[in-house]
Structure 1
Amino acid sequence: MGAHVEILEKLRGALEPQGFEVHPFQVSWYNGVLESVFHLSYPPDTLAFVVLSSPSMFEKSFKPFLAQRKLQSLRDPIDQCVAHHMRLAQEKFPLHKIDVIYDYELHPNRRPKVLMQTAAHVSGAAYYYQRSDVEEDPWGKQKMFGVCIHPRFGGWFAIRAVLVFTDVQATHLAKTLPIDCVPGREERIKLLENFNYNWRDGKYRDVLAAEERYSAEQTLYFATPPAERLKLLEMWGHPIPPC
């Protein structure tokens, strides 16, 4: 059994009970579909993982985190929770050097450190639907952003982080292709238009019948502007320390 298999099993054992999904990929798979300006600066066969949060993360991780810890008022509560669980996962691998890159991290020039949707696609975690996936698209010169869809959760998930095991080469890692769960042209057009024009109403998330969706409480939380979420948590009984 290769080192990457053992690492994957241990990582999933640490994170899946908390409502996260873990999917491995080689850095070369990611770099191979992007311009050099976006490349990750590791050897091609370096082992990496994309970490997703499923709908159950809110109940399994976020609420217990709120109950047990004092939040830092200047940091996003979900980001604090995710970082907490990534640190716990890292502690399972004391002999390895792991770089953790979060979805919100940017270079000084404001370029994302990782294009998370691309990472999810090349790992097979979720299909990244883009304009190029629509034959004879109807949008002319209009810019259209792409969106990842999960085969089980539809759009009811989030991509949280990439973990890079900088000292592990995954030469024999088998590539898993993402499941094309929105195969029809008209469905893809509707998906991209819902995401680009009306993403706040969340209709794009229901492009397929999801096995799990966000609860009403979770939907309210994520629909609340980030600047107002701490007030919402206080209303729910979670005290926030002063700045």
Structure 2
Amino acid sequence: MVGNLDDIGDYNNYVADTFKMPYDPDTAAVLVLSTPTMFDVSFKKWFMQKRKEYKTMEAVVENVPQPIQMFVESRLEPLRKKLDDANIDYEVFYDSSLWPNRKPKILLQTCGH
């Protein structure tokens, strides 16, 4: 995975009002993207650890219903802990983060450009 540091103001300058983030323009924003090697190296290693932990593929399927999401969460956990320990407020959005009306919370394609 790779990260890109920017600020909310840059994002808000490119999106329609309905997608603007309600934060100070100077608020830091970090975009984390997966790379092809993430799957071939990191995810496979993580998945094989789960396979070893749960013994059977059936147990993995039962205990790891969303493997990609759980893998990403496991990778973000050390960062979350550091931010929590430093009393830094943060919010995490995923490409699947939606409001109740099914509108995306953030346009990640815009963040990547």
TM-score range, shorter chain: 0.7 to 0.9
Give the equivalent residue in structure 1 for 2:22. 41
Residue 72 of structure 2 is aligned to residue 82 of structure 1 = yes
Counterparts in 2 of 1:135-174, with a 5 A limit?
A: none
TM-score (norm 1): 0.39
One-letter identity of the residue aligned with 2:70: Q
Give the equivalent residue in structure 2 for 1:67. 48
- 4+ runs deviating over 6 angstroms: none
The structure with the largest strand share of the pair is: 1
SS for the counterpart of 1:22 is: strand
Unaligned runs of 5+ residues in structure 2 are 51-59
Give the equivalent residue in structure 1 for 2:93. 101
The structure with the largest helix share of the pair is: 2
Residue 4 of structure 2 is aligned to residue 23 of structure 1 = yes
CA deviation profile, 1:131-151 (whole Å, cap 9, x unmatched):
xxxxxxxxxxxxxxxxxxxxx
TM-score (norm 2): 0.80
Unaligned runs of 5+ residues in structure 1 are 1-19, 122-243
Matches of 1:104 and 1:88 in 2, distance apart? 22
Counterparts in 2 of 1:123-142, with a 5 A limit?
A: none
Matches of 1:106 and 1:55 in 2, distance apart? 25
Residue 103 of structure 2 is aligned to residue 111 of structure 1 = yes
Q: Who wins on radius of gyration, i.e. which is larger?
A: 1
One-letter identity of the residue aligned with 2:81: E
> CA RMSD of the aligned region, Å?
1.4
Give the equivalent residue in structure 2 for 1:55. 36
Seq. identity, %: 35
Give the equivalent residue in structure 2 for 1:196. none
